[in-house]
Amino acid sequence: MQEQTGRLVCRDVGKVYSTGTVALSKVNIDIPTKGIFALIGRNGAGKTTLVRILATELMSSSGTALINGADVIKDPKKVREFIAVVPQESRLLMWTTPRQMIVAYLLYRGFSYVNAKNRAAEVLKTVNIGKYADVQSQHLSGGTKRKALIATVLASEASMLFLDEPTTGLDPISRAELWNLLNKLKKDHFIFLTTHYLEEAERLADQIGIIENGKLLNIGTLDELRAHVKYDFSLTIFDNKARIKPRAGRIVTGLDGNRQILTTQKEANRIAKELIRKGTRFSTSPVSLEQIFYFIVKRSINEETEEKDEW
Ligand SMILES: Nc1ncnc2c1ncn2[C@@H]1O[C@H](COP(=O)(O)OP(=O)(O)O)[C@@H](O)[C@H]1O
Ligand SMILES: [Mg+2]
């Protein structure tokens, strides 16, 4: 296969577990190894399985995958030289401190003790947890523990980081702090992250892949994904009594209980003028990743059950 420097390529990657579960089928990806790639999907969609295959931890059942030209199945040693992974639900050992964890990890990766110690001090500063460097992990908050795990892989000097659900279960402030950190790191690392927080992918990712039931349904930038949605504009109306009849699109009830009209930009403009005339409060914006995700996943489910849904 041709050298593909600077790209992550999956060709028809499939995985069937020994239990018979088809976790991935014919996954095709071809993206630059730059910035942040977010793989989004519901629980059980196949995110972790794909991460484990790319991180050379699990054999695929079919297909090939290359990272920067190195084959994850045939040449895992080469791949491991430039990747580092924080698996889903990884934890710091209760009695260890962030500094001890990082040094131990680096020794395992072949660093000398002096280099490991210096490097640990450096990354603890980078992720801004210097003051917790010598606190046992049992006394650290969830956010600090996650940062310590990211510091660990960062210390390895790997140029690509695989982070499987790095923010799941964190409070909103810790999550925002981690987003800042990832934004900082993406300048000189490729970050492959998985999440089911769609807002996270929307804010962070340069490229987004949508996975459902083992199939990669779509991949692209937010705007490219939005182009798959027929009604790519959303209008939220803050007055439940207002009577509006869109000429195109559909009316849905948002999570906040307000009515939303999903429609074309042109129709949104027309309705907006009408609402302004009536003095009705509203807001309008391109549809969010949440709406795009919902549409793309629902369409795929409907295709399988052959139901029609007019979006
Ligand atoms: N080790 C395993 N053995 C058997 N089935 C598994 C294993 N790991 C995951 N699965 C199954 O494979 C599917 C995909 O799981 P996973 O990759 O963990 O999804 P996600 O990370 O998106 O939640 C699920 O149906 C899950 O139950
Ligand atoms: Mg998972």
d(CA 196, CA 15): 21
Q: Is the pLDDT of residue 206 over 80?
A: yes
Q: Is the pLDDT of residue 170 over 60?
A: yes
**Close Cβ partners of 190 (under 8 Å, ≥ 6 residues apart):** 8, 33, 34, 35, 36, 37, 159, 160, 161
Q: Structure pTM? A: 0.90
Residues in contact with ligand 1 (CB, 6 Å cut-off): 17, 19, 21, 23, 41, 43-49
Centre of ligand 1 to C-alpha 244, Å, is 45
276-286 pLDDT per residue, tens: 999 999 999 99
177-204 pLDDT per residue, tens: 889 999 999 999 999 999 999 999 999 9
Q: What average pLDDT does range 78-99 have in this prediction?
A: 90
Other C-beta atoms lying within 10 Å of the C-beta of residue 238: 13
Task: Determine the residue of 27, 49, 57, 168 to mutate for testing ligand 1's pocket, defined as the one with the most ligand atoms within 8 A of the Cβ atom.
Answer: 49
Which amino acid makes up residue 283? Answer: S
CATH architecture of 7-220: 3-Layer(aba) Sandwich (3.40)
Atom of ligand 1 nearest to the CA of 52: 17
Q: Is the pLDDT of residue 307 over 80?
A: no
Q: Is the pLDDT of residue 101 over 50?
A: yes
Given this model, what pLDDT does residue 229 score? 86
Centre of ligand 2 to C-alpha 201, Å, is 15
Other C-beta atoms lying within 10 Å of the C-beta of residue 310: 7
The length of the chain, given as a count of residues:
311
d(CA 127, CA 115): 18
Q: Is the pLDDT of residue 271 over 90?
A: yes
Q: What is the dihedral of CA 214, 218, 220, 225, to 10 degrees?
A: -140
Residue 37 vs residue 257, higher pLDDT: 37
- The domain spans of the chain are 7-220, 233-305
Which residue puts its alpha carbon closest to atom 26 of ligand 1?
44
